[in-house]
Amino acid sequence: MVPSAFVGLDVIPLNANGKVDRRALPAPDRATMDTDDEFVPPQTPTERLLAGIWSGVLGVDQVGVHDRFADLGGHSLLMIKVLAAARQAGLTVSIWRMYQHETLHALAASIDADEAEEAARAAAPEPQVTVSAELLADLLRRAGEAPGAQDPKLAEASALVHRARAAESRAVLPDLADDLRAVMAENHVPGASIALLRAGEVAETLSLGVLGAEAGPAVEPGSIFQTGSISKHLTAFAALRLVADGVLDLDLDVDAYLTSWRPADDPNAPGPLTLRHLLGHRAGLARHRSVGFRPGEPVPTLLELLTGRPPAVNPEVRRELVPGSAFRKSSTHYWVVQQVLEDVTGEAFAPLMRRLVLDPLAMTGSSFAQDFPRTAGRSVALGHDRRGTVLDGRWRERGHLAAAGLWSTAGDLATFAAQLRRCLLGEPGALLAQPYAQQLVGVESGSFYGLGTIVDDTGADLEFGHGGEPAGYWNMAISRVTGGSGFVALTNADGGKDVVRHLTAALAERDASFGRGTLAAGWAGTAGPDAGAAAAVLRPVATDDERA
C-alpha cells in the first residue's frame, strides 16, 4: 500500500518498552496529503456534515469538496466508522456508495439526489390499476379452463403478463461481459466464473477468461476455484444440521465434544467455550496465520495445527480473550470447529461435509478434499498474484479445511445460497428448519456477522453471504432473503477485488434495491489497520502463503 502522507520527524518517539509510541506520532496535516486539488470548502449542508465526519475519522483538519477519501488516508475499515457517524447524523451512506462516489462533493450530491427522489416518491399519489368488471369476470371465469380460448381481453392480459415475465428473466450477464473483461485485464485477472440468482433460483452463469495466465484453456461453467473463507459459510450450515439432529448444542462447552485435543484453560480468559462462540468468531482464541502449502509439500494435519507441531509453523492454539467478550475474526476458531465435528461424528471432515451439505444439494463440482483438483476430472482455475503471475505450485493445500479448504464452482455456490434462502424462509423441503437457519443470520450488535455468515440488515432487504481471499484468488457470494437476487463471483487472482466491485455496481444499477447495505461492497475493501468489531468483519482471514 502507498502511504497517503509523509511526515518528517527529527526523532521517532518510543514507549517504555523501546517500541514506537504510535500515540505520540503527530497526525499528518493537509499539506502532507497526496492530493493535488485546490481546497474548496464544503458548500451544502450535506457536504458540511460529511466533511465533519471525514475530518473526525481521518484526523484531518480541512476536508474540501474535491478531496477523495482514499487520498486523505481513508480505507475500507475507516469507512465503517464513517458509516456509523453518518447514520447518527441521519445520512444514508454505504461502502458501495463511497466507492462509486469518491469525492466529498460527489458523495454528498448522491445522498441529496436520493433524498430528493425519496421525497418525490413519498409525495406522489399511490398508483392505481383499473380493471373493468367485465374483464375481471372473464378472467375469473376462464382461470380454470384449458388454454387456447381466443378472447381478445384475455389475450391482451396474457400478452402483458408474458412481456413482463420476459423482461424480468432476460439475461443480464452477457451485457456486462465486455466491461468485466476490461476490468479483468486492467487488474491482471486471467479468469472469472459468475452465477446470478433471480427470485431465489440460479438464473444465469458466465465464464470469462482463461484458467491460467497466457493463452491457456478457457474458464468453463464447471471450472473449480479455491474459495477460501467461503468454506466457513458451508461449515456453519453443516454444524447447524448437526445441532438440528441433536448431535451438537450451540451453547454447550465444546470440551464435552472434543476428545482429540482441548484448548488449555487460561485464568485470564475463563469461561465455557461454545460452538456458538466459535462459529461467530467470539471465542477469543489467539490468531494464527492460515498458511497454505504448495502441492507436494508436507501439509500439517489439523492436530498438528492445533498443537503447533511441525510441519505446522504456528504455536499451539490457545485462549486469549474471555469467550463471548468480543468479535474478532480468526481462522483458528474454525480449526477447532473442524475438530469438534470430526470428534463428535467420528468422520473425517471432507466426507462429513459431502454427507451433510454437498451430496444433498448435488454440488458435484465441490469438495473439501485437497486432492480434488487432481481427481475431479474438471478444469482447474490456477491461482495468480497481483501481477497476474501463476503461483509457484499453481495453488495451495491446507489441513484446516473448515476454515479455507473448499474447492467449488460458481454454480454450486449459487445453489447453496438458494438453498439457504429457502431455509431462512421456512419453505417446505428445505434442508435445514427455519429456526436453525435463522441462527446463521442472527447478528451481534455492530459486528455484521452471524454464525459463519456475513449479514447486512442495513438495507431494505437482509443480505447474506461470505467472501474468500485465499492466496491467488478473490471471491464473493451475496444474496437477498426476500427479493431472492444475488450473485457468486469467483476469480483466479489476488486482484479480483475490482472485478467483483465492478460487477456489484453494475448489478445494483439494474436493481436499485440491491447492494444498498454495506455487505455488497464491504468485501471489495482493502484491509488496513485494526479497527472496531464492525470493521473487523470486512478484513479477510489471512490466507496469503507466507512461504511463497
Dump the DSSP string for 93-157.
--HHHHHHS-BHHHHHHHHHHHHHHHHHHHHSPPP-----HHHHHHHHHHTTSPTT---HHHHHH
Asked whether residue 92 carries a pLDDT value surpassing 60, the answer given is yes
Name the least confident of 84-98, 136-150, 387-401: 136-150
Question: What is the rounded distance in angstroms from the CA atom of residue 491 to the CA atom of residue 474?
Answer: 5
Query: At 194, is the secondary structure helix, strand, or coil?
Result: strand
138: confidence class by pLDDT, cuts 50, 70, 90:
low
- What backbone torsions phi and psi does residue 380 show, to the nearest 5 degrees? -115, 125
Closest Cα partner for 253 from 267, 227, 271?
271
Please check whether residue 541 is in contact with residue 404, taking contact to mean a CB–CB distance below 8 angstroms.
yes
Mean predicted confidence (pLDDT) in 246-253: 98
Closest Cα partner for 397 from 508, 290, 255, 308?
290
Question: What is the rounded distance in angstroms from the CA atom of residue 404 to the CA atom of residue 368?
Answer: 9
Question: What is the rounded distance in angstroms from the CA atom of residue 376 to the CA atom of residue 510?
Answer: 36
Question: What is the rounded distance in angstroms from the CA atom of residue 462 to the CA atom of residue 51?
Answer: 30
Question: What is the rounded distance in angstroms from the CA atom of residue 200 to the CA atom of residue 203?
Answer: 9
Please check whether residue 88 is in contact with residue 56, taking contact to mean a CB–CB distance below 8 angstroms.
no
The most confident of 96-105, 249-258, 511-520, by mean pLDDT: 249-258
143: confidence class by pLDDT, cuts 50, 70, 90:
low
Question: Residue written as cell 458501495?
Answer: 96
State the pLDDT at residue 437. 98
CA distances in angstroms from 237 to 63, 147, 294, 439, listed in the order given = 45, 44, 29, 10
State the pLDDT at residue 4. 57
User: What is the pTM assigned to this prediction?
Assistant: 0.71
pLDDT averaged over every residue in the chain = 84
Mean predicted confidence (pLDDT) in 295-310: 96
Please check whether residue 106 is in contact with residue 42, taking contact to mean a CB–CB distance below 8 angstroms.
no
Identify the H or E element spanning 456.
Answer: strand 454-456
Query: At 408, is the secondary structure helix, strand, or coil?
Result: strand
Closest Cα partner for 322 from 270, 253, 252, 263?
270
Listing DSSP states for 275-341 in one string gives HHHHHTT-S-BPP-----B-TTS----HHHHHHT-TT--SPPP-B-S-TTS-----HHHHHHHHHHH
First to last CA, the chain: 19
Asked whether residue 212 carries a pLDDT value surpassing 80, the answer given is yes
C-alpha cell at 364: 458435484
Question: DSSP character for 358?
Answer: I
State the pLDDT at residue 189. 97
Closest Cα partner for 417 from 233, 236, 206, 242?
233
> What's the half-sphere exposure (Cβ side, CA atoms, 13 Å) at 299?
19
Please check whether residue 263 is in contact with residue 319, taking contact to mean a CB–CB distance below 8 angstroms.
yes
Comparison of pLDDT for 12 and 124, the residue scoring more: 12
Question: What is the rounded distance in angstroms from the CA atom of residue 18 to the CA atom of residue 383?
Answer: 41
Between CA 425 and CA 448, with CA 248 as vertex, the angle to 5 degrees is: 50
Comparison of pLDDT for 64 and 533, the residue scoring more: 64
State the pLDDT at residue 431. 98
Comparison of pLDDT for 50 and 548, the residue scoring more: 50
Query: What amino acid occupies position 543?
Result: T
10: confidence class by pLDDT, cuts 50, 70, 90:
confident
* Domains along the sequence of the chain with CATH: 22-115 (1.10.1200.10), 174-536 (3.40.710.10)
State the pLDDT at residue 33. 58
Question: What is the rounded distance in angstroms from the CA atom of residue 254 to the CA atom of residue 317?
Answer: 15
Query: In DSSP terms, which residues pair with 206 in a beta bridge?
Result: 194
Q: Residue 311: is the preceding peptide bond cis (ω within 30°)?
A: yes
Query: At 12, is the secondary structure helix, strand, or coil?
Result: coil
CB atoms within 10 A of CB 409: 27
Query: At 452, is the secondary structure helix, strand, or coil?
Result: coil
The sheet carrying 201-209 orders its strands as 201-209, 191-198, 486-491, 474-480, 463-468, 454-456
522: confidence class by pLDDT, cuts 50, 70, 90:
very low
Q: Which residues contact 172 (CB under 8 A, 6 or more apart)?
A: 196, 204, 507, 510
Asked whether residue 492 carries a pLDDT value surpassing 90, the answer given is yes
Query: In DSSP terms, which residues pair with 210 in a beta bridge?
Result: 218
pLDDT digits (tens, 9 = 90+) for 235-246: 999 999 999 999
State the pLDDT at residue 476. 93
HEC assignment per residue over 458-497: CCCCCEEEEEECCCCCEEEEEEECCCCCEEEEEECCHHHH
State the pLDDT at residue 137. 56
State the pLDDT at residue 161. 46
State the pLDDT at residue 213. 82
Widest Cα–Cα separation across the chain? 90
Asked whether residue 160 carries a pLDDT value surpassing 70, the answer given is no
Q: Which residues contact 371 (CB under 8 A, 6 or more apart)?
A: none
Comparison of pLDDT for 521 and 332, the residue scoring more: 332
Residues counted in the chain = 548
